[in-house]
Amino acid sequence: MRLVLLGAPGSGKGTQAGSLKTALGIPHVSTGDLLRGAVKAGTPLGLKAKAVMEAGQLVSDDIVLGMLEERLAEADAKAGFILDGYPRNVAQCAALEALLARIGQPIDVAVKLDVPNELIVERIAGRAAAEGRKDDTPETVRERLRVYAEQTEPVADYFARKGKLVVVDGVGTLDEVLARINAALPAR
């Protein structure tokens, strides 16, 4: 199964991907995690990405695509993967499609977690307290939501046009939302 998880920052994508990974036995590939790893390791790429991430903006398409390509080349991704945080804009949709065509692993389904804005802001505030992510400050969160609305919302339309989008209600307990996602996945 090759799955893309879509949804605003704080929609619960990362948490759900963690549960799905266990249930489906495929890796959770988060471009945000890959980038945070590079920042932490102090790689040249991480140094480039750091300020952009802390401003709540998108890291350059080339950098993220390169990291993703390397990650998908690892052995565990041959059985499938859960993509979280990518594609983030329309250019990345085309880049992903080309990359996956090249490796013969097209996306099966894109699941969008639908969560109202008020709840998003509340959830991110909770996460900021729990995890201390540098990009969870109020100003950065506002910028990330603006970037999401402007650049990432159209990604759902892209998958809808391909007949691959399912929208799942993301309000509820983790288990309730997980059950809805499972019910929305293609038969396997």
Q: Which residues are catalytic?
A: 13, 88, 127, 133, 144
Question: According to CB under 6 A, which one of 28, 31, 93, 170 is a site residue for ligand AMP?
Answer: 31
Using CB under 6 A as the binding criterion, the count of chain residues that bind ligand AMP stands at 17
Question: According to CB under 6 A, which one of 85, 124, 145, 165 is a site residue for ligand AMP?
Answer: 85
Of 38-46, 81-89, 117-125, 159-167: span binding ligand AMP (CB under 6 A): 81-89
The reply to whether 56 sits near ligand AMP by the rule CB under 6 A is yes
Query: Are the C-beta atoms of 51 and 58 separated by less than 8 Å?
Result: no
Of 29-37, 106-114, 117-125, 156-164: span binding ligand AMP (CB under 6 A): 29-37
- Closer residue to ligand AMP in complex, CB, 46/85: 85
Of 50-58, 101-109, 154-162, 177-185: span binding ligand AMP (CB under 6 A): 50-58
The reply to whether 52 sits near ligand AMP by the rule CB under 6 A is yes
CA distance 186 to 166: 10
8-state DSSP, 89 = S
* CA 154, chain centre distance (Å): 14
8-state DSSP, 149 = I
For 139, counting Cβ atoms within 10 Å of its Cβ (0-12 exposed, 13-18 middle, 19+ buried), the class is exposed
- For the four alpha carbons of 119, 116, 187 and 163, in that order, the dihedral sign comes to negative
The reply to whether 46 sits near ligand AMP by the rule CB under 6 A is no
- Closer residue to ligand AMP in complex, CB, 132/188: 132
Query: Are the C-beta atoms of 185 and 30 separated by less than 8 Å?
Result: no
Question: According to CB under 6 A, which one of 4, 6, 29, 59 is a site residue for ligand AMP?
Answer: 59
The reply to whether 7 sits near ligand AMP by the rule CB under 6 A is no
Q: In residues, how long is the chain?
A: 188
- Helices (H) and strands (E) counted in the chain, each on its own, are 9, 5
Query: Are the C-beta atoms of 61 and 95 separated by less than 8 Å?
Result: yes
Give the interface with ligand AMP as residue ranges (CB under 6 A): 9, 31-32, 35, 52-53, 56-59, 64, 85-86, 88, 92, 135, 144
